[in-house]
Amino acid sequence: MKLSEIKVALSDTPVPEIKFFDSIGSTNDIAMDWALQGTKDYSLVFADKQTSGRGRLGRKWITESGAALAFSLVIHPTQEETEAITLFSPLGALAISDSLEILYNLDTQIKWPNDVLYRKSKFSGILIETSWMDNRVEGIIIGIGVNIKPSSVPPADTMLFPATCIEDAIGMAVDRLNLLNIIIKRIIHWREQFKTASFLAAWEEKLAFKGEWVQILQPKQETLTGKLLGVELNGNLVLETETGERLSISVGDLHLRPI
């Protein structure tokens, strides 16, 4: 893949600048530094291979050459967006889910807060990070990884949650740059709907395991169990316990409760 090919593929998007790497540690690291240098909204860092990518809760996300999408977008947030940074995770998930439906007619779900699932297996992950300057958020980085080819799926014994890839789901080759184009456009679309009832409704409609009993694993805290009721506009998950208590959860790892 060449930078010139990426520029042509994204020529109908508002992406102003692109940094492309054949191999890099983490696209988010480059994007965070770039944001502090004053690069424009929707500047893109794209890697064919990523060796030290990060997921939520400190997990690793390794991308082999040609096997997946690994990219980061720089966002310079408004004050309103800064006050609701957690919503950029579901925003990214909605963009990916929409794109898979538009291009491949795949019916996907979003496992709170941001994993995109197909038949209860994970396609992608999102990591939101912030760049700070003088006690203010200078940039929000949307880091996205999407499994494209079978070689992008880690061995089953290394995963905490089942994973899959798009090519296995649709049975045909995927044009990575076409998918990248649509994801960026859908990110822009949902950013325009930020903190609206339409945003929340779309997220609720795609929410995985709604109405089912789940467990929330939280670092250094007791595991929470309850029926998944939905999400709040601040990004929190809403559970109802066996005693009828409603809980609002801001962070954790969601799993179906063992039967």
3-state secondary structure 191-233: HHCCCCHHHHHHHHHHECCCCCEEEEECCCCCCEEEEEEEECC
- Residues of the chain within CATH 3.30.930.10 domain(s) are 3-206
CATH topology of domain 213-256: SH3 type barrels. (2.30.30)
Q: 226 pairs with which residues across the strands?
A: 214
Residue 173 has what pLDDT? 95
Which is nearest to 90 in space by CA: 246, 208, 214?
A: 208
CATH class of the region 3-206: alpha beta
The structure tokens listed for 109 are 């779900």
Residue 113 has what pLDDT? 87
Q: Tell me the backbone φ, ψ of residue 100, rounded to 5 degrees.
A: -70, -30
Residue 116 has what pLDDT? 94
Instruction: Name the stretches of the chain with pLDDT < 50.
Output: 56-58, 259
CB count within 10 Å of CB 161 equals 14
- Residues of the chain within CATH 2.30.30.100 domain(s) are 213-256
